A and B are shown apart, each in its own frame.
Chain A
Amino acid sequence: MVARTLFEKVWDQHRITDLPGGETLVHIDRHILYEITSPQAFDGLRRAGRTVRSPELTFATTDHLVSTRRGRGDDTVEGGKALIQAFRLNTKVHGIKHFDVNDAQQGIVHVIAPELGIVLPGMTVVCGDSHTGTVGALGAWAWGIGTTSVEQVLATQTLAVRKPKVMRITVDGSLGHGVFPKDLILYLIGQIGTAGATGYALELTGQAISSMSMEGRFTLCNMGVEAGARTTMIAPDDITFGYLEGREYAPKGAMFEQAVSGWKLITTDKGAVFDAELSFDASSVTPQITWGTSPEHVMPIDDPVPDPSLIADQEARQTVQRAIDYMGVQPGSPLLGLPVDAVFIGSCTNSRISDLAEAAAVIKGRKVAERVRALVVPGSMTVKREAEALGLDRVFIEAGFEWREPGCSMCAAVNDDTVPPGARCVSTSNRNFEGRQGPRSRTHLASPSTAAAAAVMGCVADARLFGAM
């Protein structure tokens, strides 16, 4: 037997047929829909007189456009009603399980899919959202697609794909005190760049990964796409199986045991060959923060912002200068002490219970600085209930945070949770593009711990000084 990688094993399992021209038709095990990138797909289906081929493999949630305000309804967000209601009708007509606006299990697609056991190891998973790779942490091959592909999966439960190259990043060692999975993934993106893994199926492995909780692994895989990866995967292990056991849509009893014995084989064989291999040492990672307008514009929190005048290459210099101008930061100076206007804790990157606990550890007994608007948005109704049972909501509310209903919120700024023009936000989300959190907003990506420290101090701050972790 030829030694195969984790990705190749999942690829082989899902090959239906090879198509002329070098693409392969692969079976899709889980298709997850939400309200923004699907209406045109349902419309196409309708016009062609087609139906949803496998509704039992299809799930839906309303997360992007939905308001996060208490007592929210379809029309809480201006202009959102038509999309929310069209989605409700489309999922109902086609018999698709939908975690709708105020469903007890509603939440961000990439948070609820693993939380409910909808995604399992070895599956192919697609969604019309670029952060679908999040669930690759379970050993699934998961990737984001456009709306035309959403329509194809609805109609055929397949996609035509060219086999990607495979890359392995090994992270040995362990993360230091006050350093979190978010810091690790930001660090890796800084090292390899936003296009460092473009076109690759990326596997993450090594001691730092195998000792990490499932929630930390989701944070890593979530941002693989920010390095260009087509999918980011981690081999399933006992931590994975322990996480999945008993989850609502996961198999139970004998079928779970049967599944686990199969899942144990979905790992990279000794001697399997990768097209690219990199390795890093987790102990050299410190808390990270972005200074610019691309996730690769990242640095240790106490480093100075790059100075364009020291960059020889003209194109690189212009890019850095443009980012510095947009962000209104000082080249050659650290960000520490820079006043912030908003703090956002949430998004498919960092809205799980461990993320909220990490932030609450910094917040507890402290107050949000007067100038700061601080928002906590749990990733799902389930996370919200769990946090409330632990009293985390009280910690946030007493400190002066707004405690919201689940949704994508200020990460994508599709609803009314936006950062005002020119304002500066430390955010636990995944993208710091120009205008990402609202027109002319300025975003600094960081861990929940660093975001919490910024909320308390009213400026960019090093959470390690709080000693609460």
Chain B
Amino acid sequence: MEPIVRLEGIAAPLDIVNVDTDAIIAVQHVYTLSKSGLGKYLFHRWRFAIDGSEVTGFVLNKGPFRNASILVAGANFGCGSSREHAVWALADYGIRCVIAPSFASIFYENCIKNGILPVSLEDRLVAQLLALLERNECKKMMVDLDARRIEFPDGTTHEFNIQSVHRDTLLRGLDPITVALNCEATIASFQELDRVQRPWVWNRSKPKS
């Protein structure tokens, strides 16, 4: 996984609450055996009309926002389906950071596991940032994960909180599976004891025939 330490880029304002993963990537675009190439489907139903033409009012179709690497949105971002395709689509499009007042849990975890930084900022700050971006398009902003600090396009800086384990994972590009595999012996002894304590978990009854 590509580590993320400090990110400077264009931020696109998406002033909508409860942006769900169906909106991020529609279900007909998850017919895939691969993780890559999903960026073209990102927000497809909002970006494109039924005839395939671009919806001019949608933020990612507007000038410099096409090259956004940061997305700023309303509360409860990523709610709904657990599809990790939503995060793969964001990453493939080039989004490395999403800023919102809050995130749905599964989406948040999927971000951490794919090198996308989810930043929770208080409502008031997100509203302020959205307003700034609507006025000052194409200004870059900066997110510094190492320092847990964000610099708005107006130059003001704000601290943000993130659990240390999530910060570490993103800074170092850690693979969670490797972390768990390092505990193999402990897992094995847990399972051995569990077979005795809760045999019904393990001795699943066989089908009748």
Contact = CB atoms under 8 A, between A and B. Distances in A.
B168 to A, nearest CB: 6
A17 interface: yes
A37 B187 contact: no
A252 B113 contact: no
Contact of B183 (A158, A228, A248): A158
A145 interface: yes
B186 to A, nearest CB: 5
A129 to B, nearest CB: 6
Nearest to A22: B165
Count chain A CB atoms within 10 A of each CB in B30, B127, B186 and give the residue with the most.
B30
Interface in A206-256: 228, 230, 248-252, 255-256
Contacts of A397: none
A295 to B, nearest CB: 9
A37 B186 CA distance: 28
Q: A123, A151, A160, A255 — which one has the most chain B CB atoms within 10 A of its CB?
A: A160
Contacts of B147: none
A157 B205 contact: no
A337 B38 CA distance: 41
A155 B181 CA distance: 8
Given A16-B183, A27-B190, A146-B110, A248 B208 contact: yes
A182 B15 CA distance: 31
Interface string A142-185: 00111111011001111110100000000000000000000000
Given A148-B113, A249-B205, A160 B26 contact: no
A435 B191 contact: no
Nearest to A15: B190
B200 A152 contact: no
A277 interface: no
A65 interface: yes
B105 A439 contact: no
A414 B27 contact: yes
Interface in A26-48: 27, 29, 36-37, 39-40, 43, 48
Interface stretch (B61-69, B74-82, B89-97): B74-82
Nearest to A117: B205
A138 to B, nearest CB: 13
B180 A152 contact: yes
A402 interface: no
A80 B32 CA distance: 9
B87 interface: yes
Contact of B80 (A23, A118, A130, A148): A130
A83 B114 CA distance: 22
Interface string A87-102: 0000000000000000
Contacts of B35: 40, 147
B106 A146 contact: yes
Interface in A56-106: 56-57, 65, 79-80, 82-83, 86
B200 A255 contact: yes
A271 interface: no
B113 A149 contact: yes
Contact of A80 (B31, B106, B109, B200): B31
Contact of A195 (B34, B102, B114): B102
Given A40-B34, A433-B22, A16 B190 contact: yes
Contacts of B176: 148-149, 152, 160
Nearest to A262: B198
Given A17-B183, A129-B82, A434-B45, A155 B177 contact: yes
A146 B203 CA distance: 28
Contact of A25 (B74, B183, B204): B183
Interface in A105-145: 117-118, 120, 122-123, 128-130, 144-145
Given A80-B31, A130-B106, A156 B201 contact: no
Q: Which of A86, A147, A436 has the most chain B CB within a 10 Å cutoff?
A: A147
Nearest to A159: B180
A194 interface: yes
Nearest to A77: B31
Nearest to B30: A36
Interface of A: 16-17, 19-23, 25, 27, 29, 36-37, 39-40, 43, 48, 50, 53-54, 56-57, 65, 79-80, 82-83, 86, 117-118, 120, 122-123, 128-130, 144-149, 151-152, 155-160, 162, 194-195, 198-199, 228, 230, 248-252, 255-256, 258-259, 262, 294, 315, 318-319, 322, 412-414, 421, 431, 433-436, 439-440
Interface of B: 15-18, 20, 22-23, 26-28, 30-35, 45, 50, 74-76, 79-84, 87, 102, 104-106, 109-110, 113-114, 127, 163-165, 168, 176-177, 179-181, 183-184, 186-187, 190-191, 194, 198-205, 207-208
15 contacts: A20-B165, A25-B180, A25-B187, A53-B187, A56-B202, A65-B31, A130-B80, A146-B84, A155-B180, A157-B187, A160-B179, A162-B163, A431-B20, A439-B50, A440-B50
The 8 closest A-B CB pairs, nearest first, are A21-B165, A146-B84, A251-B200, A146-B110, A148-B113, A130-B82, A144-B82, A156-B180
